[in-house]
Structure 1
Amino acid sequence: MIDIDQTGDVLTLAINRPDKANSLTRDMLAELADAIEEYDGKVLILTGRGKVFSAGADLEAAKAGLATDPVWEQLSSAIAGFKGLSIAALNGTLAGGACGMALACDLRISVPTAKVFYPVMRLGFLPQPSDPKRLAALVGPARAKMILMSGQKIEAAEALEWGLIDRISDPEHLMETAHQLAADCVAADASHVAAIKRMIDA
């Protein structure tokens, strides 16, 4: 249920469970984390199949404890630790624990119809440990509280205004936009890509 494509120096991981709104099982999360940890290229693109990026944890898996499983943090840490450029190409709505994947990326692009929400307050769970700080770093503490504490659904246009996403693209050109953003990194030496990222993130 994870499509893995490595073409040259670009690794594309696509969540492929559109009949279940790309909800995630523990095995899917572990597969994503393992693929990223093993990859040593220049560009990582995360996306989904269908009209939803991910609805977060699979409902039955969440009831069995997935919502609080450390595998979410393992995945976001793998993305954040990637030495190259990471891009979340949001083909649709991003919800729940899946938000951590996008928050850990360097760039987030989105289709116009996407929404972002993280209903941990209503569901009675805590967000994954790194997610609140990454969210607040992007949008500020008050807006982070609107998402995590007030449960607000943020539409793409507002998310762009807040800095939660970086560019909006029509669905037909979403992946093309991602590859355009990655083009300079693909053309550069891997050590140069890593050095600039370190300078920014330091």
Structure 2
Amino acid sequence: MVDVLISEQGDMTVLTLNRPDKANAVTADMLAAVRDSVRAASGQKVIVLTGAGKVFSAGMDLEAAKTDLPTSPIWDEVSNAIAAHPGLTIAALNGTVAGGALGMVLACDLRVAAETAKLFYPVMRLGFLPQPADPGRLRALVGPARAKRILMAGEKITADDCLAWGLFDRLCPADQVMNQANEMAEAALGASHSHISGIKRLIG
């Protein structure tokens, strides 16, 4: 089984985390595949990141956690590659997102999520520091106090609260997540590459 599925749909690339039997827990190879796929899709107008099954990602694979992966720079390489993409990036969260997998979600421009999704990042309990870029991106979305609730108090945030806080941009039934992502992508897919990247640069 391929752990990251790549589907090119015209000017849009869809990347799907594909370990549904393991709740899409990520390994070093999966992270490298996402990073490399995002870089290879630099000419695409839209990238959508989603997961197979009922969970977007449970975070780091338990076996991988016994290696040097918890402190590897590859986490930031993935999120920074997504953030640097000149087109529109959308996280289509088919379910809960946890741990280090949140980094790639925070790096996206937009986030649509299943109504049942939760979000948590238990770095305080696990004894790891979050990846360097994650706290700043989290703070930019929700402010310092809420970022501390997630990173320091280890709270599990419901989809409704994520929407209210600005972490999620839309909620929908799980089976409609990709449809919503496609709707979000329509305007960018109808625009030129330079127009998309120009607006993105202006927003910052």
Same fold (TM over 0.5): yes
Q: How does 1:169-180 map to 2 (within 5 A)?
A: 169-180=172-183
Distance 1:75 1:31 in 2: 9
Structure 2 segments unaligned to the other structure (5+ residues): none
1:72 alignment partner AA:
W
Alignment correspondent of 1:20: 22
For 2:76, the equivalent position in structure 1 comes to 73
CA distance, structure 1, for counterparts of residue 194 and residue 65 of structure 2: 40
Give the C-alpha shift of residue 186 in structure 1. 0.3
Letter in 1 for 2:93: L
The answer to whether structure 1 residue 164 and structure 2 residue 160 are counterparts is no
1:91 matched to 2:113? The reply is no
Aligned-pair distance for 1:38? 1.3
Amino acid at match of 1:168: L
Instruction: Answer yes or no: is the 8 Å Cα contact 2:116–2:174 preserved in 1.
Output: no
Aligned residues: 201
Q: Which runs of 5 or more structure 1 residues have no equivalent in the other structure?
A: none
Cα displacement (A) at 1:174: 0.8
Residue from 102, 117, 125 that aligns with 1:114: 117
Residue identity in the other structure for 1:43: V
- The residue identity in structure 1 corresponding to 2:14 is T
Mapped pair 1:32 → 2:43: no
TM-score, with length taken from structure 1: 0.99
Aligned to 1:54: 57
Distance 2:101 2:63 in 1: 16
Instruction: Tell me the percent identity.
Output: 58
Tell me the amino acid that sits aligned with residue 181 of structure 1: M
Over the aligned positions, Cα root-mean-square deviation in angstroms equals 0.5
Normalising to structure 2: TM-score of the pair? 0.98
Q: Deviations over 1:41-83 (max 9, x none)?
A: 1000000000000011110101112111111000000000000
Aligned-partner Cα distance in 2 for 1:59–1:171: 26
- Residues in 2 aligned to 1:169 and 1:109: alpha-carbon distance in whole angstroms: 8
